[in-house]
Amino acid sequence: MFVQKPPGGPDVDRLYERDRAGDGYVTNYTQLWAWRPEVYDAFVQLRGMTTGPSTLSDRELAVLVCATVSTMRDSYCSYGWGEKLNALAGADLTAAIIAGGLPEELSARERAIAIWSRRVVADANGTSQKEVDALRDAGFEDREIVEATMFIGWRIAFSTVNDALGAGPDVQLAERVPAQVRDAVTFGRPVG
């Protein structure tokens, strides 16, 4: 990271303990966000408010995020969400999404949300009614389209902070994902 670790304190310690309890170590991104624990907590709450009541499936959300962060060339979140998508869909499909593909195994909704995610990252101002209609044609309701687009925006913001301040993927995270997923992440900050 390009910034130092923040000084300890109750809120920093709480974030670190949460990581240790869940992952067994303190992640690089937590060390960065620990400079503003209340902002990190608000982000987690905002993300949950968007996805918690949503009818988007876990697999659709994982496809959305993998397509978003790999298009951004964010290695950290590609590993993190690649691990999640791998658990839901397998290593080959996950690696293909991260590499920019649209595997045949994707449902119509998953294919549409991957295309939409990449389009929003590439040029949000260039999106069109036709592209939103394609989401509807794939079975998305307008509320789901809004929720998906909000979640893409939250992921872009989170990844941008991590990437800009040099938070590289954790060694432990990279070691947990299958080789196919590791091999697909040919971009972004190195592991470490």
**pLDDT number for residue 192:** 87
CATH number of the CATH domain containing 120? 1.20.1290.10
**pLDDT number for residue 75:** 98
In a domain, 131, yes or no: yes
In a domain, 45, yes or no: no
Looking up tokens 């971009």 gives 187
In a domain, 42, yes or no: no
DSSP string, 75-116: HHHHHHHHHHHHHHH-HHHHHHHHTT---TTS-HHHHHHHHH
Q: How many domains does the chain have?
A: 1
In a domain, 44, yes or no: no
**pLDDT number for residue 169:** 98
In a domain, 15, yes or no: no
pTM value is: 0.96
Best CA proximity match to 36, nearest among 75, 76, 7: 7
In a domain, 90, yes or no: yes
Residue-number span of the structural domain to which 84 is assigned? 56-184
The 10s digit of each residue's pLDDT in 176-192 is 999 999 999 999 999 98
